[in-house]
């Protein structure tokens, strides 16, 4: 039996959330990990002297299906996870999210290691890949606000099982306007106009997912 479960409580800001996949009792369980914004976030904001009012939502979805068996060999699963085509299928959600490779930078690698330690995930190395995920966004007349997330992906081999697992952790997220130039200019003026992930700011939304 395959179970799908998503628990989501976070600040009201567009971001990418991807379900987790893991084996347990000969079945596959999908569940969202570390997407919750814990009470420690408020403590971090107070410690940094920041006051940020937030609107939060919560919900749970459960789906059951037939058992999905392991592949015949660990090597075949490793090749499956290493394929960019399969990676895109795993992370594209309903298929509307655009997945592409993203160049690694020292600042993003530092943020990735920080997020991995907080989530209890394996830390990255130079062989691991970053990807860029862009959702369709929120549409207004003449303007579309897209949500962009930079994710770190890693194939992990453990002593507990001969089969590898595939980890995906959100390094950071931002928004990008697209549409009529005057409206894009107004949006950038209202939001500060800074493009890309600001690694100097505390990450308030987190997502860690493991496929194994």
pLDDT tens digits in sequence order for the chain, 212 residues long: 333 333 333 333 333 443 333 343 333 333 333 333 333 333 334 444 555 556 666 655 666 767 778 888 889 989 999 999 988 888 887 778 899 999 999 999 999 999 999 888 899 988 899 999 998 888 889 999 988 999 999 999 888 889 998 999 999 888 889 999 999 999 888 877 666 666 566 666 778 888 87
Distance between CA 183 and CA 188 in Å, rounded?
Answer: 9
Does residue 169 contact residue 133 with C-beta atoms inside 8 Å?
Answer: no
Which runs of consecutive H residues, i.e. helices, occur in the chain? 40-47, 74-82, 84-91, 106-119, 181-191
List the structure tokens of 152: 């770190």
Q: Name which of 85, 89, 91, 62 is nearest 2 in CA terms.
A: 62
Instruction: Give the H or E element holding residue 21.
Output: strand 20-24
């Amino acid at each position: 039996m395959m179970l799908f479960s998503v628990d989501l409580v976070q600040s009201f800001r567009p971001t990418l959330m991807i379900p987790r996949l893991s084996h347990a009792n000969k079945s596959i369980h999908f569940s969202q990990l570390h997407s919750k914004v814990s009470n420690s976030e408020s403590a971090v904001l107070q410690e940094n002297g920041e006051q940020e009012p937030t609107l939060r939502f919560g919900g749970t979805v459960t789906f059951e299906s037939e058992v999905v068996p392991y592949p015949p060999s660990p090597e075949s699963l490793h090749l499956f996870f290493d394929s960019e085509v399969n990676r895109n299928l795993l992370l594209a959600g309903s298929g509307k999210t655009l997945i592409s490779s993203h160049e690694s930078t020292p600042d993003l690698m530092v943020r990735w290691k920080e997020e991995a330690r907080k989530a209890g995930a394996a830390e990255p190395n130079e062989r691991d890949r970053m990807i860029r995920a862009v959702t369709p966004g929120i549409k207004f007349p003449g303007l579309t606000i897209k949500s962009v997330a930079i994710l770190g992906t890693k194939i992990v081999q453990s002593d507990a099982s001969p089969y590898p697992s595939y980890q995906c952790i959100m390094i950071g997220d931002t928004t990008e306007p697209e549409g009529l130039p005057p409206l894009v200019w107004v949006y950038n003026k209202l939001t500060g106009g800074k493009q890309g992930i600001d690694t100097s700011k505390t990450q308030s939304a987190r997502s860690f997912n493991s496929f194994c």
